Amino acid sequence: MELDTIAAISTALGEGAIAIVRVSGENAVEKVNRVFKGKDLTQVPSHTIHYGHIVDSETNRVIEEVMVSVLRAPRTFTREDIVEINCHGGLVSVNKVLQLVLAEGVRLAEPGEFTKRAFLNGRIDLSQAEAVMDLIRAKTDRAMNVAINQMEGRLSKLIGRLRQELLETLAHVEVNIDYPEYDDVEEMTHHILIEKATKVRDEIRKLLETSKQGKILREGIATAIIGRPNVGKSSLLNSLVQEKKAIVTDIAGTTRDVIEEYVNVRGVPLRLIDTAGIRETEDIVEQIGVERSKEMMQKADLVLLVLNYNEQLTSEDEELFAAVQGKDFIVIINKMDLPRNIDLSRVKELAGNEKIITTALIEEKGIDELEQAIADLFFEGSLEAGDMTYVSNARHIGLLTQAERTIADAIDAIGDGMPIDMVQIDLTRTWEILGEITGDTVHESLIDQLFSQFCLGK
């Protein structure tokens, strides 16, 4: 019985210079060779590329002019034989090539299956596999660097080191419980236990401290632009996006619905939401827009509250200040090119410790200061992705939170003078949870570790 071989189009659908059909599996080379007219692919060296044609074997008709890469296991992404067929970048031709390959008994790959095989074959661990998708979805250079570091195993190595420390601690516990008669085995005292457990807990907490920023890098910040009608919300969106995405007029209520756009601000990915101006109105459509604006404001991670430099504060402005209390927000006083009528002292009083930026968006003034304020708010202005190991994946954050809780339970139990074998339960659970991050939790390795470190049969 032949082993399963899979294939899929690995490039984005649409017109382009090239498109690639990737085939992976023990019989990948033989399967592609049946539809390839050129060199005998089964005889060529690994990691070479060859010119030829894809031919329909039934009609003997040439389908595509191609370059075919042959990569032999184990030095491939999946650790299986891989063939990549480089076609012209058209929808019809690349799909026809794929169909011919599938007709040779190759199965269409499931979403993410190449990366899944890399994990199953030990090429990467689970956290590295997840980083592949993070890299594809990265919206800023910082997000890309975080994903690359994770793909290279930065998080995996740190998790592995923590698990190793726990494993060594647990091995000592096992020895003291099961072989108390050995005098040359270091006695695992409560003092040593709490020292080692506290060290691991502190490392876990450091990782969790990066999770807010890591999650921001991965998913972006939901940023609501709010304010009364005609204060410059759509102008702000257009200035940050550097495109005219929103209609800008002097007529109040022009924006009737929520407009969303992604933008990179000093390495911070923002999901900008330009909301309808919030005011009392008899217009049914505008009322719906106002209600949606209020909903988005509540869900936002960051609020940009826009005021008019040329107008006095209104009760609606003050209500908006009240609505954003408890959230991260920046006050933007727009239209500073016009005469000042706003009470700045009152704005400062309402804003409290939050940042206040003055702008003239029509003249593109104040945007740099606003972008820097956003960067300062979330990254303190200078933090780079290479400075530390970020945790951005929600699954990892959840597991680390569980691990922190279980090791805290162990530390509490030690402090309360609980028996060592009871403490061992929480330490073992912490070790297992950390292993779930990399997909490497195997109970038998605890036994292997014990016998490899201690010569118990001597």
pLDDT digits (tens, 9 = 90+) for 125-179: 777 777 766 666 666 566 666 667 766 777 888 888 999 999 888 887 776 666 6
Q: Identity (one letter) of the amino acid at 223?
A: T
More confident residue, 137 or 388: 137
More confident residue, 269 or 121: 121
Task: Over range 14-43, report the average pLDDT.
Answer: 92
Task: Over range 411-418, report the average pLDDT.
Answer: 84
Q: Does domain 6-120 have CATH number 3.20.20.60?
A: no
The CATH label, of 3.40.5.10, 3.30.70.1350, 3.40.47.10, 1.20.120.430, for the domain at 154-210+391-453 is 1.20.120.430
More confident residue, 71 or 351: 71
Considering 213-222, 254-263, 358-367, the range whose residues carry the highest mean pLDDT is 358-367
More confident residue, 301 or 2: 301
Spatial distance between the Cα atoms of 199 and 407, rounded to a whole number of angstroms: 10
Q: Identity (one letter) of the amino acid at 208?
A: L
Report pLDDT for 136.
Answer: 61
Nearest partner of 62 among 33, 90, 93, judged by Cα: 93
Reading the block at residue 242, the tokens are: 């550097």
Query: Taking 50 as the threshold, does the pLDDT of residue 120 lie above it?
Result: yes
Reading the block at residue 223, the tokens are: 């940023």
Domain ranges of the chain: 6-120, 154-210+391-453, 219-379
Of all residues in the chain, the percent with pLDDT exceeding 70 is 74
Task: Over range 24-48, report the average pLDDT.
Answer: 95
pLDDT digit string (tens) for 305-333?
889 988 898 888 888 888 888 888 899 99
Task: Over range 385-398, report the average pLDDT.
Answer: 65
Between helices 154-178 and 420-438, what is the axis angle to 10°?
160
Q: What is the pTM of this model?
A: 0.59
Backbone phi, psi, residue 130, to 5°: -65, -30
pLDDT digit string (tens) for 251-286?
334 343 445 677 777 777 787 776 554 444 444 444
State the pairing for strand pair 302-308/221-227: parallel
Fold of 219-379: Rossmann fold (3.40.50)
Query: Taking 70 as the threshold, does the pLDDT of residue 215 lie above it?
Result: no
Query: Taking 80 as the threshold, does the pLDDT of residue 225 lie above it?
Result: yes
Report pLDDT for 262.
Answer: 74
Contacts for 39 with CB less than 8 Å, ≥ 6 apart: 50, 52
Summary mean pLDDT of the chain? 78
CB atoms within 10 A of CB 399: 20
Q: How far, in whole angstroms, is CA 266 from its chain's centroid?
A: 18
Report pLDDT for 273.
Answer: 74
Backbone phi, psi, residue 36, to 5°: -105, 130
Cα distances (angstroms) measured from residue 435 to each of 129, 208, 228, 398, 430:
15, 16, 51, 13, 9
Nearest partner of 411 among 202, 209, 211, 207, judged by Cα: 202
Q: Using alpha carbons only, give the angle 342, 346, 351 rounded to the nearest 5 degrees.
A: 110
Report pLDDT for 206.
Answer: 86
Q: Read off the pLDDT band of 221 (50, 70, 90).
A: confident
